[in-house]
Structure 1
Amino acid sequence: MDLSTASAIHRLRLVSAPEAVSFLLLLVCSVLKRTTDFNAVPVMGAIHGVLFVVFVVLWADAWRRAKWALTTAAWYFVLSVLPFGGFALERRLKRDADDAVVASRARKQDVVGA
């Protein structure tokens, strides 16, 4: 992986945690709407919707750049729609981005050393 791939993964990682938090908050707001007079679902729904659309766009970009297998890309997408999956996805993406940076630096050292 090169640095542009690492950047794409990093951008996806940056939005995956807030998207996961907004999903959990939306679930809480849905429960509160049905059990109390508090109704923040329209606001939280809009926030989560925007974050999810941004996530999907960045997920597609990272999939294209990283050349993930279909099963990997599908698994990453499924994690985004599970209540706590976004946090697991963020940790996995951090590992992928770190591996990409290390590989890029190793290739640069091989080129300079050759």
Structure 2
Amino acid sequence: MKKNPIPFLRKLGLIEGISFLLLMGVAMPLKYIWGMPTPVKIVGWAHGVLFVSLCVSLLQTMIVAKWSLKRGALIFIAAIVPFGPFLIDRRVKGYEKEFHESRTASPSESPVLR
């Protein structure tokens, strides 16, 4: 049985969301209001790494959990929208519960065998 990748995806999504808020709410004002470009370079780089990591983790989760393209696209779009990762987290938590239940269901209850 493969390990559940959804908890990692959720945590990474929340961290990526926080990095985006730091970039837009702290680093960008420091650059454009107070002329301090260094925070944008640091936070922007970290946010970029986190975003790419989130995309890779999402792809891995889609494969392991057998998610549809629609579900993956919804989560990807939420990662781009400000506050999106925080708003989509509840839904992803439901997907996590669904994945766990499908893994622990008895073979007679499995939707594959119906």
- Aligned pair count reads 108
Q: Distance in 2 between matches of 1:104 and 1:18?
A: 27
Q: SS at 2:105's partner residue?
A: helix
Deviating more after overlay: 64-73 vs 54-63: 64-73
Q: Does 1:17 align with 2:17?
A: no
More helix by share: 1
Q: Distance in 2 between matches of 1:51 and 1:43?
A: 12
- Structure 2: segments with no counterpart, 5+ residues: 110-114
Amino acid at match of 1:27: M
Partner of 2:55: 56
Q: Distance in 2 between matches of 1:96 and 1:4?
A: 16
CA deviations 1:66-113 (Å, max 9, x no partner) are 222222211110000111001122222211112221232232796xxx
Partner of 1:95: 94
- Structure 1: segments with no counterpart, 5+ residues: none
Partner of 2:31: 33
Q: Distance in 2 between matches of 1:50 and 1:99?
A: 29
Q: Distance in 2 between matches of 1:36 and 1:109?
A: 64
Deviating more after overlay: 98-107 vs 71-80: 98-107
Where has structure 1 moved over 3 Å in runs of 4 or more?
none
Residue 59 of structure 1, CA deviation: 0.5
The question of whether the paired residues in 1 share the 8 Å contact of 2:65 and 2:99 is answered with no
Report the CA distance shift for 1:21/1:33 in structure 2 as closer, same or farther (over 3 A).
Answer: same
Quick one: percent identity of the two aligned structures? 32
The question of whether the paired residues in 2 share the 8 Å contact of 1:16 and 1:89 is answered with no
